[in-house]
Structure 1
């Protein structure tokens, strides 16, 4: 679902799945600048609340992804990806949020509340600017990419 929604967004040229021995699944998002972002995907079961009582969150306008230098920061990526996922109007997604919007995040990423009460988490694992390789250690993100 996320691959399909993100692939349709302006400023995203492709979204594919990736895996390695340490993280069984995730997304690799390529941006129009050539920068790339790798996320993990983890989930948690329903918390027992009735999600049908909650209306899906309205999609915010797409924020600017790039700064004045044409770079992306983790905070900008969180805001942009959150808005894109909400704008996809997928009935499975009740709401989405950037980790940094709820409190200072140790690791940036995007969280999803799903319509069935479950949650999905997309922590940012690697970043790479155009023509660069990602850092070899997970969660060691570039300040701008």
Structure 2
């Protein structure tokens, strides 16, 4: 019999297996395909923005796109990580951990929305499955309406 050693996650580890750990580490937190497509479409409309930037210096959260003069923060949320009502499927392994993680993400999203709104920002949130064209049009319309030089 071979000397196969089974991978045991460290105490408190979030991974249920070595393969799952590799998969989860490979998931991008920025520059996802939906984000890139929306950014290209918004850029083509002549709008410029900051990518993966903090709208507020004292808030440890980043928006996918930030339009500072217009005070618009854009988030393109992944269906799994942010609990999309249409597409979220609870995990089969380590479900307690992952369900709590997603619930925490949702709570953080709502807190972020509230804090930005209190600071005078407009928050736009889109799901990764939404039409990039529709998202880009909505972003452009909002930014153009809120830009100080356009009022």
More strand by share: 1
Q: TM-score if structure 2 supplies the norm length?
A: 0.29
Higher Cα Rg: structure 1 or 2?
A: 2
TM-score, length basis structure 1: 0.30
Query: Higher helix proportion, which one?
Result: 2
